[in-house]
Structure 1
Amino acid sequence: MPLTPLDIHNKEFSRSFRGYDEDEVNEFLDQVIKDYESILRENNELKEQLAALKEKLDHFANIEETLSKTIIVAQETADEVKNNSKKEAQLIIKEAEKNADRIINESLAKSRKVALEIEELKKQASIYRTRFRTLLEAQLEMLREEGWDTFEKSAVNE
């Protein structure tokens, strides 16, 4: 057990012939007591400071741990959002590709239908022209025939 200032103060030395000067010894012990009390006070202050610093250190260690966990959670959340965004983008792209394919197929089908209708109209126009030409040629032939001449003469004579 360490000495206390009171232990030093109450210490009695036995007297002997040709011993030390009692006043000198008492003065020295008083000085030792003062220094020892000062050192004990300083030691207690340092212990209190150490306890306060340990408390602050624990506080900051808790803050650091909380921040570290928060950063990890934020990183995981960011990764999750990023992955979800990629998946959503891929789904949008696939949907757009499907729509584009559907639109292209519909356009091709309409184009084929229009081409068939154009061909049909061309055939009908050709047939109409042929029939019309045939009709005109028949009418011209009728006009060229001699029967018209006689018809014209009889119509004029009447």
Structure 2
Amino acid sequence: MPLSPLDIHNKEFSRRLRGYDEDEVNEFLDQIIKDYEALIRENKELQTQISTSQEKLGHFTNIEETLSKTIIVAQEAADELKNNAKKEAQLIVKEAEKNADRIINDSLAKSRKVALEVEELKKQAAIYRARFRALVETQLEILSADGWDALETRESREPRELEA
């Protein structure tokens, strides 16, 4: 057990003949007591500072651990968000490609349908022209036939007969 300043102060030495000077020993002991008390105070202050520093260190260590965990969680969240964004972008691209393919296929089908309709209309127009040509030719033949001339002459005579 270490000595306390009180132990030093209360220490009694036995007396002998030709011993040390009692006043010098007492002065020296008083100086030792003062120095020892100062060292004890300084030691307590240092221990208090160490304790405070350790508390602060513990606090800052906790903050560091919390920040580290927070950074890790934030990084994981950012990675997950990035992965989700990539997946969503891929889905959007696939959907756009499907829509583009559907639009192209619809357009091609409509184009084919219009082309078939145009061909059908051309055929119908050709048939109509052929029938109309045949009709006109038939009418021209009728007009050029001798029977028409006979009708014409008959008509021109009949009104004269009515006059007479």
Which interval holds the TM-score relative to the shorter structure?
over 0.9
CA distance, structure 2, for counterparts of residue 3 and residue 59 of structure 1: 36
Q: Deviation at 1:20?
A: 2.5
Shift of 1:18: 3.2
**Cα displacement string for residues 98-149 of structure 1 (whole angstroms, at most 9, x for unaligned residues):** 1211121121111111111110100010110111011111111211222212
Superposition RMSD in Å: 1.3
1:106-121 pair list within 5 angstroms: 106-121=106-121
What code does the residue aligned with 2:109 have?
A
Question: Which amino acid in the other structure matches residue 71 of structure 2?
Answer: I
Question: How far apart, in 1, do the equivalents of 2:49 and 2:57 lie?
Answer: 12
2:43 equivalent in structure 1: 43
> Quick one: which amino acid aligns to residue 11 of structure 2?
K
- Following superposition, the deviation at residue 95 of structure 1 comes to 1.5
CA distance in structure 1 between the aligned counterparts of 2:157 and 2:5, rounded to whole angstroms: 172
* 1:104 partner letter: I
- Paired residue secondary structure (2:15): coil
Partner amino acid, structure 1, of 2:132: F
How far apart, in 2, do the equivalents of 1:36 and 1:155 lie?
165
- Provide structure 2 residue ranges, at least 5 long, that are not aligned to the other structure: 159-164
Query: d(CA) in 2 for partners of 1:157 and 1:82?
Result: 105
Whether 2:98 is the aligned partner of 1:98: answer yes
| Whole-Å separation in 2 of the counterparts to 1:122 and 1:89 | 48
Counterpart of 2:126?
126
Identify unmatched segments of 5+ residues in structure 1: none
Say whether residues 1:28 and 2:28 are aligned partners. Answer: yes
| Structure 2 counterpart of 1:139, one-letter code | Q
- The CA distance in 1 between the partners of 2:23 and 2:89, in whole Å, is 96
1:68 CA displacement: 0.7
Mapped to 1, the partners of 2:71 and 2:38 lie a distance apart of: 48
Q: Which residue of 2 aligns with 1:10?
A: 10
In the alignment of these two chains, the number of paired residues is: 158
Deviates more, 1:49-58 or 1:88-97: 88-97
Once residues 77 and 155 of structure 1 are traced to their aligned partners in structure 2, the CA distance between those partners, rounded to angstroms, is 107
Matched, 1:145 2:153: no
Tell me the SS of whatever aligns to 2:12.
Answer: coil
